[in-house]
Structure formats: C-alpha cells, structure tokens
Structure 1
Amino acid sequence: MRFRHPDDTAVHLAYCSNVHQAEDVDGVLAQLADHAEPVRERLGVDRLGIGLWLARDVVARLISEPGELRRLKDELRARGLETVTLNAFPYAGFHREVVKKDVYLPDWADEARLSHTLDCARVLAALLPDDAERGSVSTLPLAWRTPWPPDRADTARRALDRLAAGLATIESDTGRRVRVGFEPEPGCVVETTAQAVRELRGLDPERLGVCLDACHLAVQFEEPGEALRRLAEAGLPVVKLQASCAVEAADPADPAARAALRRLAEPRFLHQTRTMARRTGREQRTAARWTDPEKHTPAERGDPQVRGVDDLPDALDGGLPTDTGPWRVHFHAPLHADPEPPLRTTADQLGQVLAGLLGGPSADCDHIEVETYTWSVLPEPPTDLPGGIAAELAWTRDRLTGLGLKDDQR
C-alpha cells in the first residue's frame, strides 16, 4: 500500500512476513499465496506491501541461484505484492519452539551478520519496484548487552563502516539505494534512542540510520516527540518505522492483570518488561535544592527511572515492583484490538510516533512496516490470520489518512 504525503513523498506501508513460518524458498512462495494475497484481497487494494523476512538459507539460495530470485520477484508481481523493505533482524529459526535470546545471534561483532545483511541488501535491490526511490533493511541493535567487551564493540564499529561501503557498492552496481536501520530494543547494547545516538552517531546518514520500533519505544517509556527530536538533532534518519504496540498493565498488583499477564508469558519469544521507579521523597527534596540540576544524573535528580527484567516471568515472580506505576511488556499486540482486560496496549504512543514522523510539513520516514509477529503465541491464536493482518493494516491506513496522507494506489 502506498500513500502520498502533502510534501509529495511516497510513503510505503507493508506488513512483515516474520509472522509466518518458512525457511526455504518454496515456503516463502507459499506464504505469498496462503497469506499475503488474501490480506490484499481483504483490504480491496490492487497492490499490497510485504516486508519480507528471509532466513539465512533462503537469502543464500537467492544470491547463488538467480533463477530463484527471479521466481520470487515474478510471484510477488503476479499476486499484486511489492517489497521495499526486508527484516534482517532474525537470522534463522525464528519459529523454533524456543527462540528467546538466540534471536540476537549472530551479532554485529560476527562476520556472518555483516555478510547476511549485505546479501539481504542485494536481494532487495533486485526486488524493488522500478518506481521505488529506495529500499530499507532492518537489523538488530548491535548485540544483546552482555557480554559486550570493548574488543567486540570495536569489531562491530568497524563492521558498520564496511556495511556502509558495501551498500555504496551495491548502489553502484545496481543503481538502487538500500539503507540499513538499527532497531533499538530493550536489553540490547542499543535499547533507547539516547543509546542509538551514542553508539551510531557519525555513521553515513545516506546509508545507515535507525529502525524505530514503536513497541520498543513504549516499553522503555520514551516520550515519542522527545525521542524523534533526539534522533533528528544527531543526524540519525529513521530509515523505517515498525508500527507496533506493547502491552501495558496499569496496575500490575491487580490480580486480574497478573492473571492476564501470566497468559502472555509463553516460552518462544523474549518479553522484556519495564516499569518506572521514582526516587524517594527525601532524595527528591535534596535534588530540588540544586542550583544546576543538569549537571546531575537523572537518578540523582529524582527523575523517573526505567527499571526492568529480561522476561515477563521474571517480572511476575517478583523481579519488578508493583507499586511504582504501570508495567509495559515487549509483546507485540495486534494494533486494532484490545488485549484481555484490564490490560491495554500502547496504541496511543504509536499514534504519536506516526504523527511525529508524518504529521508535519515533511515526511520524516517513508517505510512503515506492521510487525505483529506474535499472533501464534497469543492465548487464543486467530483462526483467520489474513483477516487479522488486514485489520491491522486498515487501522494504520486510517491513522495515515487522518494525518493528511492520501491513498496512492496508482
């Protein structure tokens, strides 16, 4: 699906295929027939964007066998689908019985991550529609935070310079520009926009930037407007927005909320959980007497602090306080639907992110990907997955047109 911003930028909306299980070319092609084309038909559009997740073995085969790549491109076209973005965060095995922290491997200190990302960019350059201005590839935020010794951090930084050079070569060879966005995620080396600025500032902004996941932003209790300003001031472009919602328990001490959260604590994916904790009254009174509070850390000033654990069961088993405010859980909830009461989603924050990026005089992002990969691990998985995905895309379409963008289905 395409939209036209008032500044005439073409904005692409897609859904991410990492919701589907397939780790060979035939499986990917079957997804297009079984899910993506029915989603397009449900929406009643002639052209649907799909952000492909291609496991390492699939990418390797597409690179080594040009005929397979042509077969994929032909199948996309025949089914009214187009691809301008790839999700290269999961490397392989994203639908194993247990994924958890394995999703962060290989990390950016491993040569395999650089090789895979550049191969994804080559595949995308071949799949891009002729009239698409550029493509995007999203990837992990360097690594899980531990272990991350200085030597691995240095190796990763050198890999990012090689990534930019490799993307320049792909553009020279194909005439197609592909940008890579690093996706801040709770628990990783880069989990906030402030850490993105610290770790990624100074990279080639024409080729490298941030993939902003609205669920992750909400879990970290980042204020959308402030986060977007921080990235803009640092010269880090938002290469891609993943339109996603976290789950929130307003009162995590409520037995009904805890029971509903227990039903989300499933074994496959990691569900990082965060809350806010303020300093004591005495510490806040001390902070109020400082003449220059900006010289002190947020913790010293008594500002709200994000506290977290690495998975939802840890929070439920006593790892997080229940009396300091809401809990937010890294569980990608369907955009259009409410979770089990009294839980709610962070859809309002997603709306603020969309408004911040696209509600002004210029479009500050042109690739949006709905990324609800958790349908299969919901307490009650849907019987009509294409219908659910279509409803999410319709929800997002309504928000975009409400911001003044126009449907551009030509």
Structure 2
Amino acid sequence: MTVTPLSYCTNVHPAEDLDGVLAQLDRYAEPVRRLVGTDVLGLGLWLPAALAAGLADDPALRAKLRTELDARGLEVHTLNAFPYGGFHDEVVKHSVYRPQWTDQRRLEYTLDCATVLADLLPDGARYGSISTLPLAWRTPWDDADDAAAMRALTELTAVLDGMASRDGRPIRLAVEPEPGCVLDSVADAVRWLAPRVDPRYVGLCLDTCHLAVSFADPAETVAEIHRAGLSVVKVQASAALQVEEPASEAAQQALADFTEPRYLHQVRERTEDGVVLGADDLPQARTELPALRTWRVHFHVPLHARPAAPLSATTDVLRAAVAALASTVDELPHVEVETYTWSVLPETAGNGGDTALIRGIAAELRWAAAQLLGQDGGVR
C-alpha cells in the first residue's frame, strides 16, 4: 500500500543559514519525530534564498544536509519556496510576496530549490514538490507582468524536464493561490495556468486555509482543477479562523487577540447573494466589511485545537478537500501541515516555549494522520 507523504513545514522555525537549519533538526524536528512515535518523519523544508543558492552550488553541502536528515530519521519530499527570506522578521506582511514571478531572483531561487530537492528526495519517492507564491500581490500587475511570469515558468519547466529525464522522477512546481494575490483563488489559478503550463511539471498547491477563506466549495474546487487538466501537486493542510457573528462585542474582543504586526491576515465575508467581500488585514476588516455574516480570516490555527468560542476553525473544509482528492485520484499528493503562526498565536493558544511547540506540532501530525489519511495507528 502506498503511504501518502505527510510532513510538517519548517517555516514555523526561524533560520537563515545551514547551521540554523541543522539546529532546528535537533531542537524541534527530531523531538517531534520521537513524540509522534515514528521511525521516519517528513519535513516540508523551508530554505531561505541565500541558503538554497549555497546548497545548489555545493554538492558536498547537499550531501551533508542529506546525511544529517537521515541520521535523525527525517526525510524531505517537498520544499516550501513561497517565502524568499526573512519570514520571521518583526514585520513580514506584503514582503512575503517579493520577489514576484516577474523578477529573475524568483526563478533563480526556485531553480536552486529544485537542485537541492533532487538530492534530498528519499530513494522511493514518486516525485518532489516545491510550493510557490501565486505570481505576486495583486497590484501592480499588468499584461507585461503576465508575459514576464510566463517566460519565467517556461524556463523553469524546461529545466525541470531535463532533471526528470536525468533522474527518472519529476520535481513539480505547486502554485499556491492566496487571497489578495494575482491568483486570488483556485479558480483564478486554474484559469491562468491551464492554457499556459505543462501539467507534468506545474500544478496547484491546495492550501486549505486559503481555500476556506475564499468560500469555495472543496469538492467542486478539486473537480475544477482536474477538469482543466491540472493536478494538485501538494496539499497544505491548514485551517482558517472563522467568526460566525463578527459584529458582536465578544467576537471583536476575541479577534483583537489575533491582530498582530508580523503577518498579513486577509478577511473575507460572503454576502447573502454569494458575493465575497474582502479586506486585506484584520484591522481594516472592522471598517471595510459589513460584518453581517460569517468572516473567515487568513490566520492558520492549529489543526487539533478548536479556538475558544465565539471563534472556530475551518477544519471541515480541510477534511472535505482531502476527501474529494481521495475520491478523484489513485494516490494522494504530498500533505504538509503548515501552521507557521505558532509564534504569533495568543498566549493561551500557542506560546509556552519549545516544549509547547513540539507537543503542538506532534498533535497536529497525529490529527492529520488520523483525520485525513485514516492512519489511526500513527503518522506512518
């Protein structure tokens, strides 16, 4: 029986160089593996651009990283190449969308990640995946930007095709739609990608927090992707914050605890007639949205722990999306738990030092194994 690769994304940990990444393995990843109780644990590795370039230029360094992973019972099927660097700066916000896909640096970073991943993939891996941003933040963007992004993706595809011929298995790019971006929703991504890309090497990263925030139907979304001849290369298993009565004083007080300066937390509200209204961050939502119906907030919350009332989480969307995939494809794509927000969760929900973080990540992985993959005995 094929085992779906299940990983947790290391963008939850701050590190900008190889020493920092190796320290993460000892401080967090190996303790998570032991706590989960598995011989081998998957990591969705995040490598900042400078580190990816250094590894890509030095086969000995790549071999060292592979050896260090193997020694700790860790394996890598997927890389997260959405953040270019500085993902734990005091303020990230819109900078996470730069450089965009019109910038040569984005292409070079992604090519470096492909080179690294090819040497990290387990021997039995079917393919490797690299998730990336949905082209750019929505403004400014014009036809010339469209053309530049397409040229970059065409160049990337040619390199990936050569690598697949050499190695016998593909590295695939997973474009991750996100509210507020050029490819705001999966529907936007399908319309843009389907006529332009080679689906052997470019597909979708289905981030289920983003999917929930867009108010798209999970089953119809999966069907739409496959009707267009594309595929889900990677699932980022994530849940959004949900607020049933956003105008209430209790809800606004609860949301105040999630209003923080580091990351962007887009908010969407679907009106009675189905129109989805948006605000680019939680502070703006209070003045820009009518707050008459449910809000969904781009704030990744732990999969296993329901937020305190009057808030909730969109884990039902995550379950439905994976179930739809399971009924559509013969083998599920990579599944990566991506709750990068532990450091900015309200104190009662997420902080408490290394022990709390390790326990939280382990609990998420157990939840995902049981609830999404039907692996009641554990992660593997």
Task: Report the TM range for the smaller structure's normalisation.
Answer: over 0.9
Question: Which residue number corresponds to residue 397 of structure 1?
Answer: 369
1:408 to partner: Cα distance: 8.4
Q: 1:172, CA displacement in angstroms?
A: 2.9
Residue in 2 aligned with 1:285?
none
One-letter code of the match for 2:217? Answer: E
Aligned with residue 378 of structure 1, among 345, 351, 355: 345
> Aligned match of 2:215 in 204, 207, 221?
221
Q: Take 1:92 and 1:354, find their aligned partners in 2: how far apart are those partners?
A: 30
Farther-moved stretch of structure 1 (66-75 vs 79-88): 66-75
Matched, 1:305 2:279: no
Compared CA separation, residues 228 and 364, structure 1 to 2 (3 A): farther
Instruction: Please say if residues 401 and 407 of structure 1, whose CA atoms lie closer than 8 Å, have aligned partners that are also in contact.
Output: no
**Counterpart residue number, 2:250:** 256
Corresponding residue to 1:147 among 121, 140, 150: 140
Q: For residues 199 and 172 of structure 2, what CA distance do their matches in structure 1 show?
A: 9
Per-residue CA distance 1:177-227 (angstroms, 9 max, x = gap): 100010000000111121111110131111100000000000010110111
1:48 aligns with 2:16: no
TM-score normalised by L of structure 2: 0.95
CA contact (8 A) 1:84 1:135 kept: yes
Q: Amino acid of the residue matched to residue 358 of structure 2?
A: P
Q: Is the 8 A contact 2:9 2:45 kept in 1?
A: yes
Runs (5+) with no aligned partner, structure 1: 1-7, 279-302
Summarize the alignment of residues 2-401 of structure 1 with structure 2, pairs less than 5 Å apart: 8-202=1-195, 203-278=197-272, 303-316=273-286, 318-323=287-292, 325-358=293-326, 360=327, 362-363=329-330, 365-380=332-347, 381-383=350-352, 384-401=356-373
Q: Is the 8 A contact 1:214 1:243 kept in 2?
A: yes
Query: Does the CA contact (< 8 Å) of 1:215 and 1:245 recur in 2?
Result: yes
Deviates more, 1:88-97 or 1:382-391: 382-391
Shift of 1:382: 2.6
Structure whose alpha-carbon radius of gyration is higher = 1
- RMSD across aligned C-alpha pairs, in angstroms? 1.5
Aligned residues: 374
Q: What is residue 5 of structure 1 aligned with on the other side?
A: none
**In 2, distance between residues paired with 1:327 and 1:122?**
41
Aligned equivalents of 1:408, 1:257: Cα separation in 2:
35
Unpaired runs of at least 5, structure 2: none
Q: Which amino acid aligns with 2:221?
A: A
The Cα offsets for residues 32-70 of structure 1, whole Å up to 9 and x where unpaired, read as 110000000011110100000000111011112222211
Give the aligned partner of residue 290 of structure 1. Answer: none
Q: Percent identity?
A: 53
- Structure 2 vs 1, CA of residues 408 and 392 (structure 1 numbering), >3 Å: closer, same or farther? closer
Q: C-alpha deviations, 1:116-142, integer Å up to 9, x for none?
A: 111101100000011111100000011
Contact 2:369 2:376 in 1 (8 A): no
Identify the range of structure 1 (331-340 vs 63-72) with the bigger mean alpha-carbon deviation: 63-72
CA contact (8 A) 1:50 1:83 kept: yes
SS in 1 for 2:343: helix
